[in-house]
Amino acid sequence: MAVALDRIRVGSAPDSWGVWFPDDPQQVPWQRFLDEVAEAGYSWIELGPYGYLPTDPARLADEVKKRDLKVSAGTIFCGLHRGPSEWESTWEQVGRVASLTRAMDAKHLVVIPSFWRDDKTAEILEPPELTTEQWGHLAKGMERLGRQVRDTYGLDIVVHPHADTHIDTEEHVERFLDSTDSSLVNLCLDTGHYAYCGGDSVKLIETYGERIGYLHLKQVDPDILADVVAGGIPFGPAVQRGVMCEPPAGVPELGAVLTAAQKLDVDLFAIVEQDMYPCEPDKPLPIAVRTRKFLRSCGA
């Protein structure tokens, strides 16, 4: 019998319905996402790309409440490694997303570093390795962001290691954590992205447990990943190949991840994100139902 994971709050996100952009004809309408995520048995959601769900707080609150849903986080992207010149545009984005996130009574802002290569065209936008100076900008910028987001909006930032960004591999994640103040900056550990980049989620939780502030649950198909790595394939096309697969078919083993997270003895969100852009509109719901059933079997 699975151990009761009573410190873990499970949810899902627009990403699991193939939503990557605020508006795209290949994506399901937001009403359908909300209907189906509730039908699948989840009670928590993320906002997804700003502008996909209604941005009027009163309307969004009504739409969420009538489906017995609650919001756990909003998301922003930023390139703070480029230095202070990035601050103004980053803070402008934060203002929109954090205001809506706070209005939904959520407590977290997921921060994703900017991509170093285009996930559609594979164009190299920046070198994949940061200079020492850029690492300094990144650490100081994230600490400033954490402080001001908390002071202004009452939210905690959780930085999301992500494929094809500068915070991806075990080495980069550990360097980032060792360079930042735990009172200002913690991690959104995405189990799929970390495995995609060669990391061990259970090891990271056991080693840096006090820095784990939030979880994204996903799995990687190891066979497809091997081809992706061998071919130097960018993240977007890799997703189209099915590199992020339905649990429990891939790695890491989510039961072990959730058990390790439970041992931290803190309340954590664990939001399912199965990257599927683009996908057929009827594909996500059955997967979401099966995934929720699987997570219940793990004790979540």
Angle formed at CA 213 by CA 212 and CA 216, multiple of 5 degrees: 85
Backbone CA torsion sign across 119, 122, 124, 125: negative
Helices (H), the chain: 30-39, 57-65, 87-103, 132-153, 170-179, 191-196, 201-207, 222-231, 235-240, 254-262, 284-297
Q: Is 65 helix (H, G, I), strand (E, B) or coil?
A: helix
Q: What does the pLDDT look like over 68-91, one tens digit per residue? A: 999 999 999 999 999 999 999 999
Let me know if 288 is exposed, middle or buried by CB neighbors in 10 A (0-12, 13-18, 19+): buried
Per-residue pLDDT, averaged over 97-122, amounts to 94
**121 confidence band (pLDDT: 50, 70, 90):** confident
294 contacts: CB under 8 Å, gap ≥ 6 = 247, 248, 254
Q: What is the pLDDT of residue 2?
A: 61
What is the structure's pLDDT at 30? 98
Strand partners, 111: 76, 159
Task: Please count the other Cβ atoms lying within 10 Å of the Cβ belonging to residue 7.
Answer: 15
DSSP-based three-state secondary structure for 293: helix
pLDDT at 211 over 60: yes
**Placement of tokens 């997570």 in the chain:** 295
pLDDT band at 45 (very low <50, low <70, confident <90, very high): very high
pLDDT 10s digits, 225-234: 999 999 999 9
d(CA 260, CA 272): 17
Mind listing the pLDDT tens digit for each residue in 151-205? 999 999 999 999 999 999 999 999 999 999 999 999 999 999 999 999 999 999 9
Kindly report, residue by residue over 226-283, the tens digit of the pLDDT.
999 999 999 999 999 999 999 999 999 999 999 999 999 999 999 999 999 999 999 9
Residue with tokens 């065209």: 121
Reference 268, options 276, 279, 257; nearest CA is 257
